[in-house]
Every structure is written in structure tokens, then in C-alpha cells.
């Protein structure tokens, strides 16, 4: 059941917010031993939130749009008075004294906080295996990863532990786990949603967005969290349109571009390719025109990303020195030794690897050869998208080259892990909105994801096309039996 349906039942009194919350808390208790989507379940807070909504309804007050809706929040978004760890020993005991803008807007809209979800440490990873507190598992097959870095949020929605969730997307960290877990995942335009209170990984790439069971629910959450924020200088001032109304607009005559480079990828699973092309055919049957387009630098996105993102991470994570807050090693005889030991013991291997890459790329004698060159390629990637959108209204690609892989499959090969984001990174490089929508299943019964991309601030069209496809394809109505998704 979606947010609109729950809202109607809550407002009519058919169900109380407390009952809906307890229903999800019971689901969490039942499946968390297997899924491990949550790092912290805020049971008392959730029930208190729900009771306030019920009291407001009983008093005849008008309820806000998300009143009583139970949500999960990725644990790199600051929540006042609630531990925010980024799945790192470095912040294991960090309790923020302030609320992030997006979560503040959710609570003002009446949402109920169920808890904080697991992620790859500091959002660096594509499988949630780098979490310092153990990996989350894919509800479709617990022997497989849920994707990353927002794997906990994706798994929580897929397993029915939350109506929806928030995640962050730096190079695909919403869309890729959404594809692996068979849910909708939306990365808005860079700057459409405030980053204030999001613990920074790569500041020019990070963006907050929703996970949900439907495109309509993603539109509901985006409606609440989008908009200008004076506390975030990169947040856009553009007015927020009615995303929910956009879903009803017809898509007949829209031009859908199939990005040639994406379908010619080495390593693209034939089942993924066939399923995504079938989704394109479905859009054609709905009245869209299919057009093959080329984005020549699309495949350069991943190399560019792994210069820019680690460079920004190196700068952002320099603040964790064991002095003001965060983990501090007790085995040191000097300030320099304490800082070195604190960072070595507080950060995991993947975070250290990216800090080293970024520090090297920014070092004297190499910054022009690596970082500056990467920024130039980033501009070319953006120009390729601009040229493509001169011909079509929306771009269509697979979200991930494969379905969810088994735990440990890429443990000894970081480059293979990085390639999991091959098809999602270019949208981040260009700051474009993109969405994952389930479009089928492979022979093992694992979900396959379709990615749609539109131009800057064209979320209404993105949601419109995704919604029409979702309603016509009804993919989840024909889902195979899975371990926890029923």
C-alpha cells in the first residue's frame, strides 16, 4: 500500500498512526536478524511520533502530508539527539546537536522515524560490505548484497520494514541498491534537495533522495524534501513544482533515447539487457518514440569519478583528526602520532584507500594531470548529455550491468566493485536527475533495474515517464517468490 492510500486510511481513522507504526516495528523485529537493514531502531521515538499524530487527528487538526507514515533514514543524515555513525568506527558515538534539513522537513510533514539504516562506510562502496557494523543483506536472497552505499535503506523498503526511506547518491548509491532490491530509487538534480546535515563524501556529487515501493511514493517524498535552503549554498532557488500532478500527464509523443554506449558494455548481463530493452518496447507501446543516441564520453565517467570523488573525500575527511570529535586512539605519545593512529584505526580499508587516491590526485605536481583533467572530462560528459537532450526528452539505460552479486564476489578486486556503478555515475557527473524502476527478473528471481535520466530540474517528466511505465508493466505483480519479499 502506498503513501496516498495510507494517508486516506489514517485521516479517516480506519487505522491509527500507532497501529501502522507498531505493524512496521513488528516487521523489523521479525526480519532484522536476517536483513540487518538498520543500525538503530528508534522504537520509543517512533511511537511518540505516532501518538502525536493520533492526538492531532482526534483533536480535529488538519494533518500534514506525511502524517503517520513510517520512514527509515540513511545513517549519514544527521538526526538531532540520535546517533549518526556513517557506519564508521570514526563516528560510532557521534550524536548530532542539530537536524538535517531533509529530515527536519519530513518531521514537519508528520513522518514517523523508525530508525537509521546501514550503509557502506562514509557512503564509499557499492555493496554495504564496507560498513564497520556488518553488511546488510538482500531481502530477495540473503546470500547476496543489497547494493550500496544506501543498501540498508533499499533493503528496509524491499523487506517491508518501512513504507519508504531516504538515501544519498554520489555515484549511484540510491539507484544501484534500488535495482538490486527491486524498489524505486530517485536521485534528484544536484541542488534540488538540501545537503545541509548530510555528512559529506564528495560535495559536488552528493545528493539526497528517496527509496519507495512506487514512483508515486517517490514523488510524495520529493515534494516534501525539495526546495531552497539558505543553509546550503549549493541548493537551487527554483520553485518546487507539483510532482504528484506530473504523474498524470500523458507521455504520448515523448522521445526516449537509448544510449548506445550503455547497451554495448562489456560485462552487461544478457538478461539485464533483454529486460531493459523490453521496458523500452513497453514505453514505445505507450506512445513514446524510441531514438538511439550516443554519449561518447559515457564510459569515461567512472575513471573521472574515481579522481574527483576521492579528491573531495580526502578534503572532507581531513576534519576527522581525533581532536574535536570522532574516534581517538589511546595508543599515542604525541599529537601527530595520535592523529595518524586515530585515522588508521577509525577508518576502514576502503575509506583509507579513497583518501590516499584523492590525496595523491591533489598533490603538487599531479593536480593538473589528474584532478584538473578529470574536471575537464566532466565538462565533456555534461556536453554529451546536453547534445542528447537536444534530440530526446528522456534517456534510458540499464541501472546496473548485473543483478545482485554474492557476498565476497569482489572482495579482493576493488576495480570490479567500482564497475558496479558504471552506468549510474555519469548522471552524477552532470548533476542530472535519474531514477531506477524495477523492470523484470533474471533466471534466479533477482530484480533487474531500468534507469531513466532527464535534464536539469526535469523531475516532473522523469517521474511522469517512470510512473506510466510502472503502471503499464506491473512488474512487481508478477514477481517470483523470494526469501523475504512477499
Residues taking part in catalysis: 74, 149, 173
CA 392 to chain centre: 26
Radius of gyration of the chain from its Cα atoms, rounded to whole angstroms: 21
Number of C-beta neighbours around residue 22 at 10 A: 16
Please give the DSSP secondary-structure letter assigned to residue 86: T
149 CB contacts (<8 Å, ≥6 apart)? 119, 120, 123, 124, 125, 126, 128, 167, 168, 170, 173, 177
Order the strands of the 70-74 sheet from edge to edge. 38-41, 112-117, 70-74, 164-169, 207-212, 184-187, 434-441, 447-453, 394-398, 255-259, 289-293
Number of C-beta neighbours around residue 303 at 10 A: 12
Rounded to an integer, what distance in angstroms lies between the CA atom of residue 113 and that of residue 179? Answer: 24
Q: Nine-digit cell at 95?
A: 550524536
Q: Is-contact 463 217, C-beta < 8 A?
A: no
What would the DSSP string read from start to end of 219-238?
A: HHHHHHHBS--TT-TTS--P
- Using the Cα atoms of residue 235, residue 241, residue 451 and residue 262 in order, give the sign of their dihedral: negative
Q: Is-contact 128 152, C-beta < 8 A?
A: yes
Cell 566532466 locates to 378
Amino acid at each position: 500500500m502506498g503513501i496516498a492510500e495510507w494517508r486516506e486510511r489514517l485521516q479517516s481513522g480506519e487505522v491509527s498512526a500507532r497501529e501502522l507504526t507498531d505493524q512496521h516495528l513488528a516487521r523489523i523485529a521479525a526480519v532484522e536478524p536476517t536483513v540487518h537493514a538498520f543500525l538503530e531502531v528508534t522504537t520509543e521515538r517512533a511511537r511518540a511520533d505516532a501518538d502525536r499524530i493520533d492526538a492531532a487527528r482526534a483533536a480535529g487538526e488538519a494533518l500534514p502530508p506525511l502524517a503517520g507514515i513510517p520512514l527509515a533514514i540513511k545513517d549519514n543524515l544527521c538526526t538531532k539527539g540520535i546517533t549518526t555513525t556513517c557506519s564508521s568506527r570514526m563516528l560510532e558515538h557521534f550524536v548530532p546537536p542539530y537536524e538535517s534539513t531533509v529530515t527536519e522537513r519530513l518531521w514537519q510533514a508528520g513522518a514517523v522515524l523508525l530508525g537509521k539504516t546501514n550503509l557502506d562506510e562514509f557512503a564509499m562502496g557499492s555493496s554495504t560490505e564496507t560498513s564497520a557494523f556488518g553488511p546488510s543483506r538482500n531481502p530477495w536472497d540473503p546470500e547476496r548484497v543489497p547494493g550500496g552505499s544506501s543498501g540498508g535503506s533499499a533493503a528496509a523498503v524491499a523487506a517491508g520494514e518501512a513504507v519508504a526511506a531516504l538515501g544519498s547518491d554520489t555515484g549511484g548509491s540510491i539507484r544501484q541498491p534500488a535495482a538490486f532490491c527491486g524498489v524505486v530509487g530517485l536521485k534528484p538534480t544536484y541542488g534540488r534537495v538540501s545537503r545541509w546535515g548530510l555528512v559529506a563524501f564528495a560535495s559536488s556529487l552528493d545528493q539526497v533522495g528517496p527509496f519507495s515501493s512506487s514512483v508515486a511514493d517517490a514523488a510524495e517524498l520529493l515534494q516534501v524534501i525539495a526546495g531552497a535552503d539558505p543553509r546550503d549554498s549549493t541548493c537551487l532557488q527554483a520553485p518546487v513544482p507539483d510532482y504528484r500532478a506530473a504523474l498524470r500527464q500523458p507521455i504520448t509523443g515523448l522521445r526516449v533515447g537509448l544510449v548506445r554506449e550503455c547497451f554495448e558494455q562489456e560485462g552487461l548481463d544478457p538478461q539485464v539487457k533483454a529486460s531493459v530493452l523490453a521496458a523500452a518496447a513497453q514505453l514505445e507501446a505507450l506512445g513514446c518514440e524510441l531514438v538511439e543516441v550516443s554519449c561518447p564520453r559515457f564510459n569515461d565517467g567512472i575513471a573521472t569519478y574515481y579522481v574527483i570523488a576521492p579528491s573531495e573525500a580526502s578534503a572532507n575527511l581531513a576534519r576527522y583528526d581525533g581532536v574535536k570529535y570522532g574516534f581517538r586512539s589511546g595508543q599515542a605519545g604525541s599529537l601527530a602520532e595520535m592523529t595518524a593512529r586515530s585515522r588508521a584505526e577509525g577508518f576502514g580499508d576502503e575509506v583509507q584507500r579513497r583518501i590516499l587516491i584523492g590525496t595523491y590526485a591533489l598533490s603538487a605536481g599531479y593536480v593538473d594531470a589528474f584532478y584538473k583533467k578529470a574536471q575537464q572530462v566532466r565538462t565533456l560528459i555534461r556536453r554529451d548529455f546536453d547534445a542528447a537532450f537536444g534530440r530526446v526528452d528522456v534517456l534510458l539505460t540499464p541501472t546496473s550491468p548485473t543483478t545482485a552479486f554474492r557476498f565476497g564476489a569482489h572482495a579482493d578486486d576493488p576495480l570490479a566493485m567500482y564497475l558496479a556503478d558504471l552506468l549510474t555515475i555519469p548522471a552524477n557527473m552532470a548533476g542530472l536527475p535519474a531514477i531506477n524502476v524495477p523492470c523484470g527478473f533474471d533466471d534466479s528471481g533477482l530484480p533487474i533495474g531500468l534507469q531513466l535520466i532527464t535534464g536539469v530540474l526535469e523531475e516532473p517528466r522523469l517521474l511522469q515517464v517512470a510512473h506510466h511505465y510502472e503502471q503499464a508493466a506491473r512488474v512487481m505483480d508478477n514477481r517470483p517468490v523470494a526469501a523475504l519479499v512477499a
